[in-house]
Amino acid sequence: MQTDLVAQAEPKQSIIHTRYGFITVIGVLLILTILSAGAAVSFGQVDIPVSQSYRILLHHITGIQIGDIQELTSGSFVDIIWKIRFPRVLMALFIGAGLTLCGTIMQAAVQNPLADPYILGISSGASLGATFAILIGFGSMGLLGQTGVAFWAFAGAVGASLLVLILASAGGKMTSVKLVLAGMVINALCTAFANFIVYFANNAEGIKTVTFWTMGSLAAASWDKLPLISIAVVLAIFFFLMQFRVLNAMLLGDEAAVTLGIHLGAFRKAYMIITALITGVMVASCGMIGFVGLIIPHLVRGLVGSDHRRLLPASILFGAIFLIWTDVIARTVVPNVELPIGIITALIGAPMFMYMLIKKGYAFGGKS
């Protein structure tokens, strides 16, 4: 019964209808993800031949030697690729996959095609935490050391999300509408406090740092920061891939879900908490990167449909590829200058979203 209902909810502009076609799409996206991760390390202020980048990565990952051993193990190119760019590319891969995953879950959980990973006030809460750490001076004090900003950003993101959940649950059952409204309230409140701190701060360098952080950047990516993000994102991916039936039921609304024997309230709350935690980890590591979790699910939904059994894996891979190349643009489009990646995602995402709105190609669960 649920399969029939989901089929009825499929957007009309879905292109891939067959199982073979979907497998082909996933295979192509996997290959593109691997090729993108290898090629992206070649671009930057110092250009490196793509073939040499692949050979260096292949040797470091698998031990396979193709060419001169000295070129593969030592030299400036090896240091640039393995110590600087490859951790950054992997960070972009996991952040892109994670933001897209959270955006897809949010859009289903709140039944709102405009939902993204920051709908629960996560961005404003993280911004408030980071602003507090940078401008008040806790970012480099105490036992936290240099991780202070990330800690306070994560604390702010999770705290804001919990406030939204509490506010949305007050006075009765939590609903998707109450979640969105509560998120707007907490977002405005955190933004006001952050602006208050900035207004009275007498720290020009700190204000510049806050501004850069709020626009997102992968410049601080390193090998020691990857384990937490990668583990969190991978665990979330495996968990939500097994939840496609509940997510499909959410598209049909609470009344239809009841007929299927699914208590959406409990699932919705659990999904919100998990996505808030995952987004908090990502925001604490690279700042706010907008439009990824909003745009990518829409694009992929038009390709494979609304069934989350197909939508989730395709969106995750597409999001990873998108952010890898967006980061390449951010660090190469202006010579000798690195732009915050959030600027690039907004410049790409906003026109795309306007196009979808005009063409009404943003159908969500059969609604347009």
Q: Compute the C-alpha angle 306/314/304, nearest 5°.
A: 40
In a domain, 143, yes or no: yes
Q: Confirm whether 147 is domain-assigned.
A: yes
203/167: higher pLDDT: 167
According to the model, what pLDDT value does residue 360 have? 56
In a domain? residue 367: no
For 4, 133, 325, the CA distances from 138, given in Å and listed in that order, are: 55, 5, 34
Nearest alpha-carbon partner for 96 in 352, 321, 302, 311: 321
The least confident of 87-91, 111-115, 198-202, 357-361 is: 357-361
- pLDDT of amino acid 147: 60
pLDDT at 362 over 60: no
The pLDDT tens digits of the residues spanning 82-96 come to: 999 999 999 999 999
Q: Per the structure, how many domains does the chain have?
A: 1
- Both structure tokens of 255: 């009344």
Which one of 161-165, 183-187, 246-250, 321-325 scores highest in mean pLDDT? 321-325
In this prediction, residue 312 carries a pLDDT of 96
Q: Is residue 368 part of a domain?
A: no
Q: Indicate if the pLDDT at residue 246 is higher than 70.
A: yes
Higher pLDDT, 104 or 138: 104
Asked which of 15-19, 29-33, 53-57 is least confident by mean pLDDT, the reply is 15-19
Which tens digits make up the pLDDT trace of 56-74? 998 888 888 887 777 788 7
20 burial via Cβ count (<10 Å: 0-12, 13-18, 19+): exposed
Separation of alpha carbons 8 and 322, rounded Å:
30
Q: Which one has a higher pLDDT value, 149 or 14?
A: 149
| 13 pLDDT higher than 90 | no
Determine the pLDDT at residue 199.
84
Q: Is 260 helix (H, G, I), strand (E, B) or coil?
A: coil
What is the distance between the alpha carbons of residues 234 and 246, in angstroms, rounded to a whole number?
Answer: 20
Q: For residue 274, is it within any domain? A: yes
Residue-level pLDDT at 14: 62
Write down the mean pLDDT value for the chain.
83
- Return all residues near 4 (Cβ < 8 A) that are at least 6 apart: none
Reported confidence tier of residue 261, pLDDT bands at 50, 70, 90: confident
Average pLDDT in the 296-312 region? Answer: 90
pLDDT score of 296: 93
Asked if the structure places residue 213 within a domain, the reply is: yes
State the pLDDT at residue 236. Answer: 95
**Is 366 part of a structural domain of the chain?**
no
- Is the model's pTM score more than 0.85? yes
**Higher-confidence position of 113 and 313:** 313
Mind listing the pLDDT tens digit for each residue in 125-180? 888 888 888 887 654 444 344 467 778 888 888 898 889 888 888 877 777 788 88
% residues pLDDT > 90 (the chain) = 30
- The whole domain housing 211 covers 2-359
**257: CB partners within 8 A, 6+ apart:** 249, 250, 263, 264
Assign residue 74 the CATH number of its domain: 1.10.3470.10
Structure tokens that stand for 303 in this block? 């390709």
pLDDT band at 276 (very low <50, low <70, confident <90, very high): confident
Decide if 170 is inside a domain.
Answer: yes
* pLDDT at 5 > cutoff 80: no
State residue 329's pLDDT score. Answer: 95
